Amino acid sequence: MRERPSSRLLIVDPDDRLLLFKFVHLAGALKGQQFWATPGGGVDPGESYAAAACREMFEETGIRISDPGPEIAQRSVTFTLVDGEEVSSDERYFLVRVAHPDLSSVNWTELERAAIAAQHWWRRAELTATGETVYPEDIVEMLARAGVW
């Protein structure tokens, strides 16, 4: 199984709301699955987790940052990619505070455009109460441990 290190972004706005993307898979190995997850993605060869976080921040939100902030969590998880490949991922979570909730999808890949159906800024109570699938499953606890919520 291929190792796929990744940087995940816990993006929080001035109102302490967390940005999540809703992924809805209409085709491929994940057809029929839908869930909310953090922005972020794989670390490129030779790239650090922090550099990947900065790159992913720009690609997925349009916001340029030179420092992704503190790495507040790490998890190891196995999952299936859209193309059906099963990977083992060492995920690092960075807390990024933004000055405003304005986002751009202009740099999204075709794959992201096909899978991301919505974006939403979540309050703690709303996220705690949702019945929808959210990854990582302990995201509320991650943010509580970091002092955000």
List all residues 6 or more positions away from 116 whose beta carbon is below 8 Å from its beta carbon: 21, 22, 23, 105, 108
Distance, in Å, from the CA atom of 130 to the CA atom of 9, rounded to the nearest integer, reads 20
CATH number at residue 121: 3.90.79.10
Among 83, 89, 98, which residue's Cα sits nearest to residue 9? 98
Count of structural domains, the chain: 1
Higher pLDDT, 81 or 13: 13
- pLDDT at residue 29 in the model: 85
Query: pTM to 2 decimals?
Result: 0.94
Q: Which amino acid is it at 106? A: V
Q: List, for residues 105-114, the tens digit of each pLDDT value.
A: 999 998 899 8
Those residues whose C-beta lies under 8 Å from the C-beta of residue 85, and which sit 6 or more positions away, are: 2
Q: Which domain holds residue 21?
A: 2-145
DSSP code at position 100: -
Q: Provide the pLDDT for residue 27.
A: 85
pLDDT at residue 102 is higher than 90: yes
Inter-residue long-range contacts of 137-140, CB under 8 Å, 24+ positions, other chains counted? 139/10, 139/18, 139/38
Residue 54 predicted with pLDDT over 90: yes
d(CA 105, CA 114): 12
